[in-house]
Structures are given as structure tokens and as C-alpha cells.
């Protein structure tokens, strides 16, 4: 290795630069520092830097590790999320493992539940892994209480490797393991499952892995299922054999404490039939059983119906992500929220009316079914008619999702006529289904306990809306109503305003992208006193004119619990926006308000008024900043500039404090 002269700095040079009188040995500096000359107008300046970044990172970690505990905690909180400090914290973990007690780790690695995310938990696991210290691994596992909650985190191969090492090299029991989407690396996942199966499983209560498990991984999974303490199990299996299905069910029998079992399955019809036959004959008493089918065909549904010969306690049934149906299916189209582009019903399913008839025949064994999700399956009126013939068997059904299909008014009429026996239905989603006013008219049936109704992106119009609203006197429990993108005009809005007297518990109302206009808006605003408990109100893109804004501002005073308000993309001028913001001050729980005229980014905590105030209108901006002050801190977004608004009580506090100091 060739060493340049500027890489070696004598002790005299270092002492001279540092102003230190002590004599340094050359060995203390050799290979650590380098010097360069920086030429400036003021002269030639000498500076030192480390020959290699690793040396600097190690010495930084050494310095931090020998500070007081309070200073270590402060530095970690300030710099733990910086990528440039990653190696420093790895060295730090290795260094503190040699210190007695390691009290500082309790403060540094202690993770509150709200911080279970990639930047906190995964980074700490990787620090422990890279330090290769079993003591640190034990400490991390203990401080997070053995709960590796990474359910919504996309893990990289290096994350998997670190997680495997920490789990395998800890003496602390692992209680919960929730892993989200994993990379397409079966080997790394198999290593993880293998390490889990080797640990002390007597305390494992929750295992939820949202990725496909291979054949090799399945063998390790069976070993994990021998943990009798499991109460929550969620797995995803692809192309499992009949033997594996039988083996899985046999092992479920020993899980006496299993409360919830969630299975995402993509397999052959024979395996599906074997699985349901085994479940039908099983003595396992699973309290909450959920199955998600992917890539399901008519043959798969028929196999399900043949295998299901008894009630297995199924609570959730979902069909998703299968391949496109017949070419003659006409997809439903809709206008997007922010553009005029049309979206089609992206069906990936090959289930036709024959398949839905087979599914309907199995409903008699699903009396405990609570959630049925058949969204995005390309179902037309024929498929829905097949389902409607037996849906009355689902007496425990609480949520039905048929969104993003193409059932039309004919299918909707058939469906609604079969709902009379579903007394426990509380949520109904029929959005994106090409339902016209005829279908909406047939919905005027009593749903005593219905709390959520989504009919957005259909073609209901004012006639259908008026007929629909006439039945709202029966929906006293309704808390969420979505009628956006339905061409509802002022007549429909007037009908809804009359129905507000029956909807006192309404929390979420979405009427955006309609045509209610100023006349319809006036009727709505006059009825705000009946929906004073509402949290979310969306009225954007409705041709609401500036002439009714004063009426709106007055009635906003009734909405004392409002958290989210959107009246953007209407005809609102500067004075109208200022009036609205002034009255929103009384909505003490408000988090977000949109009054803009242009496209905007939806970020929480903002009052957005893009294209309302001119860039050079300083007087108007000052008025808005004064009007926007309220009890919560938030930002005022003009589009070209963002201001932070102090809470009203803090503003007065600072003012009083200022006066007391002056006088």
C-alpha cells in the first residue's frame, strides 16, 4: 500500500493545530488523520480529516458510549433516524455490550407501541444484528416485550436476515410476530421460519405472515403450529397439495386457544375440496375464521361447495385477484376524483353465473359469516341473481362488499329484494356498479341497523336520490353515507336535507362531484343543525356559488365536532373563503379544511386555500392568518407559501407575557 506524505501527520503538527502543549506519539496519529489545504481569500487554511470513514464512525461511537446516560439518550433521539449514522449505532451496540448493566439501552431501545414502524423497530433489530452481540439481542427483544409487529412493513432481505438472527440468538421468549409483505426470496423466509421453529414457542400467541409460504417453509410452519399458546394465526399459502391441506387442519386441532385463523389461499380445486372437507370434519373450535381466495375459477368454487358439508364457523370470506372474465362483460366506468379519466372494473376472476350458483349453494353452511367481500370480480346481473337466491341463509351477515362490479339496476333490484331477512347487515358497499335511478328506487327497504352505505360512482341522479332519501326515516343508525359521483342536482340535495332530521348520528357525508348548485346547497346548509355530530363533510366540485357562502358560514357554527371539511373547486371568492375560515374557528376539533380552487396535496393539519389569494396581496394574507387562529396548531397553505398558525390561546399567552415584561 502506498502512503502519501499528506496522510501522515506528525505530533507537532497536530499539537500546533489543536493548540495543545502535550506531546503526541506518532502512533496515535498514524493512519487516522489526513490533512489538506483549503485556499480562501483570507489565506491558506489547514484542515484534518479521517483517512477512512469507518475510523471516524468507530471513534464517534466510542465517544458516545462513554458519555453520561442522559447525553447518550439525547444524541440517539436526535440522530437515530439519520442514514449516515447507521454504522455509528452498530459500533455503539457492540461497545456498550461490554459495559456492566447497559442501563442506557433501556432508555435508547425502549419502543412505545405507536413507534412500531420501519424507522424504529427494524432499525434497532438491525443494529443488534450487526453488532453480533447476543446480550444486545436479548435486551432488544426484552424491551419490545417479544412483540415483533411489522405487519404493514415491506421488509428487505437484509431486514429478514437481521430479524432471523435476533430471534434465533435471544433467550427471551417471542410472543408476537406480525410480518408484512416480504421480497420474493423463499430462502430468506424459510430461514426465518426455521429460526422461529427452533425458539421457545411456549409463549408465542400471534403469528401473522402476509407472504406466500413455499413447500419447505410449510414444513417449518407445521412445527410452529405445535405451540399450544397460539391464539392468532394468519398465513398465505400458494399451490399447496391435498396432503398439506389435511396436515394443516390436523395440526389446527391441537390449538385449543386459537381464537382467529386467517388463511389466504391460491391452489387447485382438489386441494380446496380437501381443505374444506377436512375443516367440515374437524373438531377444531376456531372462534374467528377468515379465508381469502385468490385466482379462483368456477371449478374452485364448485370444489369449495362440495367440500363444505358442515358449518365451520367461517366469519370472513373474500374473493380477490383472479383473471379476466368473459370478453362480453361490460365494465363499469367512473370519473376519477381529480381528473376526467375513466377507470374500468379491473376484474381478475373467471367466476361466472355457474360459479356464483355453486357459491350460493354453500351459504346454508355459513350462518356465522359476518363479512362477505366480492368486490372487483366483474359480476354482472346474472351472477348477482344467483347469489340473491340463497343470500337469506346468511343471517349473521354484517358487511357486504360488491363494489367495482357491473351489477346494474337489474342486479341491484334482485339483490335488494333478498335483503329483508338480513337484520344484522350494518355495512353495504355497492359503489362503481352502474346502478341507475331504478336500482336506487328499489333500495327503499328498511335496514334498521344499517350504519354505512356507499353508492358512489353510480348513475343514481336526482330522481333516484329523492326516492332513496324517502326511506331514510328507517335508517336512524346511519353514520356514513357516500353518494359522490352520482349526478345529483338541487332537487336531490333538497330531498336529502329533509332527511337530515332522521340522521342525527351521521358522522361522514360525501356529496362531492355532483351538481347540487347554490339552490341545493342552501337547502343542505339550512339543515346542518340536524347533523351537528358530523365529523367529515365533503362538498367539493358541486357548482356552489359565492352568493350562498354567507349562509354556509352561519350554519357552520352548528358543526361543532367537524374534523374534515372540503368545499374546494366551487365558485368561492376571497371574501367568501375568509368568511368560511372565520366561522370554522368555532369548530374546535377541525383538523383539515380545503377551500381551494386548484389541485392540492391532501396533507392533514392544513387549511388549504390555493388560488384564492394573490401572491402580492399582503393585506389579504394577513387577514387570513388572523382568521385562521384557533385552539389547535395548524398551517395555512396559500399554494405559493405556507404559514404556521399559532393556537389562539398561545397567541394571547405570548401577548400577555409581552405586556407584563414591558410594563
The model's pLDDT over 302-329, given as tens digits with 9 standing for 90+, comes to 999 999 999 888 999 998 754 333 333 3
Tell me phi and psi for residue 8, to 5 degrees: -110, 125
Q: Which residue has the higher pLDDT, 484 or 651?
A: 484
pLDDT value at position 345? 37
pLDDT digits (tens, 9 = 90+) for 526-584: 999 999 999 999 999 999 998 999 999 999 999 999 999 999 999 998 999 999 998 88
Cα dihedral 174, 179, 184, 189, rounded to 10, equals: 10
Residue 118 gets which letter from DSSP?
A: I
Distance CA 487, CA 571 (A): 18
H or E, element range at 338: none
pLDDT value at position 160? 81
Tell me the domains of the chain and their CATH numbers: 5-51 (no CATH), 57-177 (no CATH), 231-408 (3.80.10.10)
pLDDT digits (tens, 9 = 90+) for 256-289: 788 889 998 888 899 999 999 999 988 776 878 8
Asked if residue 78 has pLDDT above 90, the reply is: no
- What value does the mean pLDDT take over residues 386-405? 93
Asked if residue 49 has pLDDT above 70, the reply is: no
Distance CA 94, CA 65 (A): 10
User: Read out DSSP for 612-632?
Assistant: TS-TT-HHHHHHHHHHH--SS
pLDDT value at position 2? 43
pLDDT value at position 516? 95
Reading the block at residue 367, the C-alpha cell is 350462518
pLDDT value at position 48? 59
Residues 262, 231 contacting (CB under 8 angstroms): no
Question: Can you say how many angstroms the Cα of residue 450 is from the centroid of all Cα atoms in its chain?
Answer: 25
Asked if residue 117 has pLDDT above 50, the reply is: no
Of 396-410, 521-535, 591-605, the least confident: 591-605
Share of the chain above pLDDT 70, in %: 78
Asked if residue 653 has pLDDT above 60, the reply is: no
- What value does the mean pLDDT take over residues 630-655? 68
Q: How many CB atoms are closer than 10 A to CB 151?
A: 17
Sheet strands (E) in 374-477: 399-401, 427-429, 452-454
Q: Is the dihedral of CA 162, 163, 166, 168 positive or negative?
A: negative
Tell me phi and psi for residue 132, to 5 degrees: 55, 35
Cα distances (Å, whole numbers) of residue 545 to 132, 522, 542: 66, 10, 9
Q: Which residue has the higher pLDDT, 340 or 607?
A: 607
Residues 546, 525 contacting (CB under 8 angstroms): no
pLDDT digits (tens, 9 = 90+) for 207-225: 888 888 888 888 888 888 8
pLDDT digits (tens, 9 = 90+) for 502-524: 999 999 999 999 999 999 999 99
Angle at 476 between CA 470 and CA 480, to 5 degrees: 90
Distance CA 370, CA 396 (A): 6
Of 363-372, 577-586, 591-600, the least confident: 591-600
Closest CA to 166 of 126, 205, 109: 126
- What value does the mean pLDDT take over residues 427-445? 85
Residues 370, 314 contacting (CB under 8 angstroms): no
Where residue 12 falls among pLDDT bands split at 50, 70, 90?
low
Q: Which residue has the higher pLDDT, 394 or 187?
A: 394
State the chain's mean pLDDT as an integer: 80
pLDDT value at position 216? 83
Distance CA 291, CA 305 (A): 14
pLDDT digits (tens, 9 = 90+) for 165-181: 888 777 778 888 888 77
Distance CA 116, CA 97 (A): 24
pLDDT digits (tens, 9 = 90+) for 455-497: 999 999 998 998 889 888 888 889 999 999 999 999 999 999 9
Where residue 103 falls among pLDDT bands split at 50, 70, 90?
low
The helix/strand/coil state of 238 is strand
Cα distances (Å, whole numbers) of residue 343 to 196, 332, 404: 44, 8, 10
Residues 102, 72 contacting (CB under 8 angstroms): no
Angle at 418 between CA 412 and CA 423, to 5 degrees: 115
pLDDT value at position 603? 58
Closest CA to 407 of 425, 423, 424, 428: 428
pLDDT value at position 3? 41
Amino acid at each position: 500500500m502506498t502512503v502519501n506524505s499528506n496522510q501522515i501527520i506528525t505530533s507537532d503538527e497536530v499539537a500546533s493545530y489543536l493548540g495543545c502543549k502535550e506531546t503526541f506519539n506518532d502512533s496515535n496519529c498514524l493512519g487516522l488523520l489526513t490533512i489538506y489545504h483549503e485556499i480562501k481569500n483570507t489565506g491558506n487554511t489547514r484542515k484534518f480529516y479521517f483517512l477512512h470513514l469507518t475510523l471516524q464512525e468507530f471513534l464517534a461511537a466510542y465517544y458516545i458510549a462513554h458519555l453520561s446516560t442522559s447525553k447518550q439518550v439525547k444524541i440517539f433521539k436526535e440522530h437515530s433516524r439519520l442514514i449516515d449514522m447507521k454504522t455509528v449505532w452498530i459500533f455503539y451496540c457492540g461497545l456498550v455490550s461490554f459495559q456492566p448493566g447497559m442501563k442506557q439501552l433501556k432508555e435508547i431501545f425502549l419502543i412505545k407501541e405507536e413507534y412500531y414502524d420501519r424507522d424504529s423497530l427494524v432499525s434497532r433489530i438491525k443494529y443488534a444484528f450487526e453488532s453480533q452481540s447476543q446480550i444486545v439481542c436479548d435486551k432488544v427483544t426484552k424491551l419490545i416485550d417479544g412483540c415483533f409487529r411489522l405487519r404493514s412493513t415491506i421488509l428487505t432481505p437484509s431486514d429478514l436476515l437481521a430479524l432471523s438472527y435476533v430471534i434465533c440468538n435471544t433467550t427471551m421468549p417471542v410472543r408476537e410476530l406480525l410480518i408484512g409483505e416480504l421480497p420474493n426470496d423463499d430462502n430468506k423466509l424459510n430461514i426465518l421460519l426455521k429460526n422461529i421453529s427452533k425458539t421457545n414457542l411456549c409463549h408465542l400467541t400471534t403469528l401473522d405472515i402476509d407472504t406466500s409460504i413455499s413447500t419447505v417453509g410449510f414444513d417449518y410452519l407445521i412445527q410452529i403450529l405445535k405451540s399450544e399458546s397460539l391464539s392468532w394465526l394468519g398465513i398465505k399459502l400458494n399451490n399447496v397439495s391435498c396432503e398439506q391441506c389435511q396436515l394443516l387442519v390436523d395440526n389446527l386441532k391441537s390449538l385449543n386457544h386459537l381464537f382467529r385463523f386467517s388463511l389466504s389461499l391460491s391452489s387447485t380445486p382438489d386441494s380446496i375440496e380437501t381443505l374444506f372437507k377436512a375443516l367440515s370434519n374437524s373438531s377444531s373450535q376456531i372462534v374467528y375464521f377468515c379465508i381469502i381466495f385468490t385466482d379462483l375459477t368456477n371449478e374452485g368454487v364448485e370444489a369449495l361447495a362440495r367440500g363444505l358439508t358442515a358449518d365451520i364457523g367461517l366469519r370472513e370470506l373474500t374473493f380477490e385477484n383472479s383473471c379476466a372474465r368473459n370478453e362480453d362483460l361490460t365494465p363499469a366506468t367512473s370519473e376519477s376524483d381529480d381528473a376526467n379519466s375513466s377507470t374500468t372494473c379491473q376484474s381478475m376472476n373467471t367466476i361466472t353465473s355457474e360459479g356464483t350458483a355453486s357459491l350460493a349453494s354453500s351459504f346454508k353452511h355459513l350462518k356465522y359469516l359476518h363479512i362477505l367481500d366480492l368486490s372487483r370480480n366483474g359480476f354482472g346481473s346474472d351472477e348477482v341473481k344467483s347469489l340473491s337466491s340463497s343470500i337469506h341463509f346468511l343471517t349473521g351477515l354484517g358487511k357486504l362488499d360488491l363494489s367495482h362490479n357491473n351489477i346494474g339496476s337489474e342486479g341491484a333490484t334482485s339483490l335488494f329484494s333478498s335483503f329483508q331477512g338480513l337484520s344484522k347487515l350494518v355495512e353495504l358497499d355497492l359503489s362503481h356498479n352502474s346502478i341507475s335511478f331504478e336500482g336506487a328506487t328499489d333500495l327503499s327497504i328498511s335496514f334498521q341497523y344499517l350504519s354505512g352505505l356507499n353508492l358512489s360512482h353510480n348513475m343514481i341522479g336526482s330522481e333516484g336520490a329523492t326516492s332513496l332519501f324517502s326511506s331514510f326515516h328507517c335508517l336512524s343508525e346511519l353514520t356514513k353515507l357516500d353518494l359522490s359521483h352520482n349526478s345529483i342536482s338541487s332537487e336531490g340535495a333538497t330531498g336529502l336535507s329533509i332527511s337530515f332530521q332522521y340522521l342525527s348520528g351521521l358522522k361522514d357525508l360525501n356529496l362531492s362531484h355532483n351538481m347540487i348548485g347554490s339552490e341545493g346547497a342552501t337547502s343542505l346548509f339550512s339543515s346542518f343543525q340536524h347533523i351537528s355530530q358530523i365529523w367529515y363533510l365533503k362538498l367539493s366540485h358541486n357548482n356552489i356559488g359565492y352568493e350562498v357562502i354567507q349562509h354556509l358560514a352561519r350554519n357552520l357554527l352548528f358543526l361543532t365536532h367537524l374534523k374534515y371539511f372540503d368545499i374546494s373547486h366551487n365558485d368561492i371568492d376571497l371574501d367568501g373563503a375568509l368568511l368560511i375560515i372565520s366561522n370554522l374557528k368555532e369548530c374546535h376539533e377541525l383538523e383539515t379544511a380545503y377551500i381551494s380552487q386548484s389541485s392540492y396535496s391532501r396533507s392533514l393539519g392544513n387549511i388549504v386555500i390555493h388560488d384564492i389569494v394573490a401572491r402580492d396581496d399582503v393585506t389579504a394574507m394577513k387577514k387570513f392568518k388572523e382568521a385562521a387562529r384557533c385552539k389547535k396548531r395548524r398551517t395555512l397553505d396559500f399554494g405559493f407559501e405556507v404559514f404556521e398558525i399559532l393556537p389562539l390561546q398561545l397567541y394571547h399567552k405570548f401577548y400577555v407575557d409581552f405586556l407584563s415584561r414591558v410594563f
